[in-house]
Every structure is written in C-alpha cells, then in structure tokens.
C-alpha cells in the first residue's frame, strides 16, 4: 500500500465504524420525522451495540465452530467491503485489490457465513429465516450486478475509482439508481422487504438468522449489519452523487469530502425513512415481484448505458 492508501485507510475504517450505527439512528430519526412522532436518539444503535458487547454470550449445545466464528467472518467481510467503497474521496484504501465485483462478492460471503451459522444451531426459526434470506439473495445479487454493470458499461471498467469519478446524468443512471435503491432496501432488510425492528416469526428473514445469538457475538452482528447499510449507501453516493468527493488527499479536500459524504448519506437516509413511512411490509411471496422490478430496471439501465456509450 502507498502512503496515500495508508492515510485513507487510517481515516476511512474508523469513520465507517463510528458512522455506521449513527446512520441507522438517522434512518430511524427520519422515519419518525416523516411519521410525525418522537423517535430514538441518533446514538441509540451505538448504546445497543455497547450493551451487547459488554455481555457474555449463551451458546446452544448444538452449535459448532461455524456458529462461533460466523460473526467475525461476517463483520470482517463487511468492513473489507467498506474499505473498498469510496467515501471521503473518489479513491478507496483497498481499491487496487478489488473493484465493484469484489464488493458484491464480499456481501455474498457475509451472507453465506451468517446462513451457515443460522443452520448450525438446528433452530426452526434460523432455518426459516435462512430460506427466506437466500431466496431474496437469489434475486438481489443479479439486480446488484446489473446496476453496477449499467454504471460501468459506458466507462468500460468496474474500477470503483473510475465509477466514483462522476459521469453526466443520463437515463441509464436514473434507471440504475432505481435498481440499486431497491437493492439497498433488500440488502439491509428494510421495509417493504423486511422489518429490522421486529422478531415476529411469521414475517422475519434476517432477524430469524441471528435469533440464537446473544452478548458479544450479537453486538458484532449488529455492527456488521449497520456497516452493510453504510456500504450500500456509500455506493449509491459514489455512483450517483459524486459531488464534493475529494480528488486528492490534501487536508482541505478531505475535510470537504467528509462534509459532502455525511450530507449525501443523510439525504439517502431520509429517502429510506420516507420509503418506509409510505409503504407497508410486503407479504413474502410479493417480495420477488419488487426484486424482479429492480432486475428489470437494471437490465434497461445496462441497455441504455451500452447504446448510449455506443454513440
């Protein structure tokens, strides 16, 4: 790694860890604002994580090493993805080691580790949540790839620095944004795909997968979920809202990049909160229709990007 990469890594990793729970608090605050009610504080997710990290874990007698190591793999994969996604600048600390396809793979690795852990304890709810999560994933991942390819097609590369450098807004970008916004909702388990604030066994997907966890491992999983949410919004901000991102590693540029980044993810958090306020949770067999819509938007975006780039 170059000195610039090390500097950006030293800034970006702590920023992601600190900002990810606060972003979840911001989404809840915006949701409460749109619903004209008093919501929890911005730092409430951090207090919840700290509470779990301070407690010991109760482990099922049926659990193996898969169950014990899954939270570390889950969080590690998502933190790596967070270091690939551009945040303060159009560069990423690990950009030379991966691109947008690597981010998709790391998200899949995190999901795979959590799915194995949910099945490892032989819990009925874990198996049910896993089956739903993997069913959604089979539709989410193609849509995510299509959205990425739509942005990448005119540039001829999936390099994140090139994608974050900014291109003129056209129909392909509008369609790709719609595709990836739906993907962000599904990947983070938010309404109308899932409800992260309930443990009702008839409706939960992601929550069913972590139902057997407690204490420190649960705290790591919650932090990982918040990091995944930040990664998805960071990609949206980098691809479609590139304004203000630092294009060199000077202090003024990075300071402006930090302010711009916080404003962009705050706007996206407001959009997520508004979406949740305007929609009810879909029934499970209706979710594929929504995810299919995302794939159609992604496919149309790819076609528009290729044909537009040809001219």
Q: For residue range 77-135, what is the model confidence (pLDDT) as tens digits?
A: 999 999 888 888 888 887 777 788 999 999 999 999 998 888 888 777 777 778 888 88
pLDDT of residue 73: 94
**Cβ neighbourhood burial of 253 (10 Å; 0-12, 13-18, 19+):** middle
Q: Which of 186, 187, 201, 190 has its CA nearest to residue 280?
A: 190
Please enumerate in sequence order all residues whose Cβ is within 8 A of that of 76, keeping only pairs 6 or more positions apart, or say none: none
The mean-pLDDT minimum among 148-162, 174-188, 264-278 falls in 148-162
Bigger pLDDT: 105 vs 166: 105
Predicted confidence (pLDDT) at residue 228 exceeds the cutoff of 50 = yes
pLDDT of residue 195: 74
pLDDT of residue 203: 58
In this prediction, residue 159 has a pLDDT band, given cuts at 50, 70 and 90, of confident
pLDDT of residue 177: 92
Note the pTM of the prediction, 2 decimals.
0.89
Task: Give 276's Cβ-side CA count (13 Å radius).
Answer: 27
Average predicted confidence (pLDDT) for the chain? 85
Predicted confidence (pLDDT) at residue 201 exceeds the cutoff of 70 = no
Predicted confidence (pLDDT) at residue 53 exceeds the cutoff of 70 = yes
pLDDT of residue 311: 42
Inter-residue contact 129 to 208 (CB < 8 Å): yes
Count of other CB atoms within 10 angstroms of residue 43? 12
pLDDT of residue 268: 93
Count of all residues that appear for the chain in the document: 311
Which DSSP category does 91 fall into? Answer: S
Measured CA to CA, the distance from residue 168 to residue 176 in angstroms comes to 13
Mapped onto helix, strand or coil, the DSSP state of residue 189 is coil
pLDDT of residue 310: 45
pLDDT of residue 204: 65
In this prediction, residue 153 has a pLDDT band, given cuts at 50, 70 and 90, of confident
pLDDT of residue 99: 84
240-247 long-range Cβ contacts below 8 angstroms, 24+ apart? 240/169, 240/173, 240/176, 240/177, 241/267, 242/90, 242/164, 242/165, 242/166, 243/166, 245/86, 245/88, 245/89, 245/90, 245/164, 246/88, 246/89, 246/90, 246/91, 247/89, 247/90
Bigger pLDDT: 32 vs 196: 32
Task: Give the CA distances from residue 303 to residues 11, 145, 240, 249, 300, in Å, rounded to whole numbers and listed in that order.
Answer: 38, 14, 18, 36, 5
**Cβ neighbourhood burial of 279 (10 Å; 0-12, 13-18, 19+):** middle
The mean-pLDDT minimum among 85-94, 196-205, 287-296 falls in 196-205
pLDDT of residue 231: 93
Predicted confidence (pLDDT) at residue 217 exceeds the cutoff of 60 = yes
pLDDT of residue 167: 66
Measured CA to CA, the distance from residue 208 to residue 264 in angstroms comes to 31
Each domain of the chain, given as residue ranges in start order, spans: 3-310
């Amino acid at each position: 790694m170059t000195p610039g990469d090390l500097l950006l890594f030293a800034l970006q990793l702590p920023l992601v860890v600190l900002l990810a729970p606060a972003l979840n608090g911001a989404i809840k605050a915006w949701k409460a604002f749109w619903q004209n009610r008093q919501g929890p504080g911005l730092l409430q997710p951090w207090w919840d994580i700290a509470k779990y990290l301070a407690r010991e874990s109760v482990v099922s007698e049926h659990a193996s090493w898969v169950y014990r190591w899954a939270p570390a793999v889950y969080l590690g994969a998502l933190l790596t993805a967070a270091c690939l996604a551009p945040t303060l600048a159009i560069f990423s600390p690990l950009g030379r080691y991966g691109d947008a396809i690597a981010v998709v793979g790391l998200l899949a690795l995190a999901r795979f580790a959590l799915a194995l852990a949910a099945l490892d304890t032989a819990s009925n709810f874990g198996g049910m949540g896993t089956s739903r999560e993997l069913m959604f994933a089979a539709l989410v991942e193609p849509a995510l790839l299509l959205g990425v390819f739509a942005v990448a097609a005119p540039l001829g590369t999936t390099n994140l620095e090139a994608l974050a450098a900014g291109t003129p807004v056209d129909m392909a970008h509008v369609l790709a944004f719609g595709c990836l916004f739906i993907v962000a909702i599904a990947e983070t388990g938010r309404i109308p795909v899932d409800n992260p604030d309930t443990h009702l066994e008839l409706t939960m997907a992601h929550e069913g997968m972590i139902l057997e966890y407690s204490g420190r491992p649960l705290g790591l999983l919650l932090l990982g979920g918040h990091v995944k949410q930040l990664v998805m919004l960071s990609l949206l901000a980098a691809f479609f809202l590139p304004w203000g991102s630092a294009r060199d590693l000077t202090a003024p540029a990075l300071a402006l990049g930090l302010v711009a980044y916080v404003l962009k993810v705050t706007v996206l958090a407001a959009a997520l909160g508004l979406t949740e306020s305007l929609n009810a949770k879909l029934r499970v067999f209706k979710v594929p229709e929504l995810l299919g819509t995302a794939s159609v938007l992604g496919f149309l975006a790819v076609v528009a990007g290729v044909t537009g780039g040809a001219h």
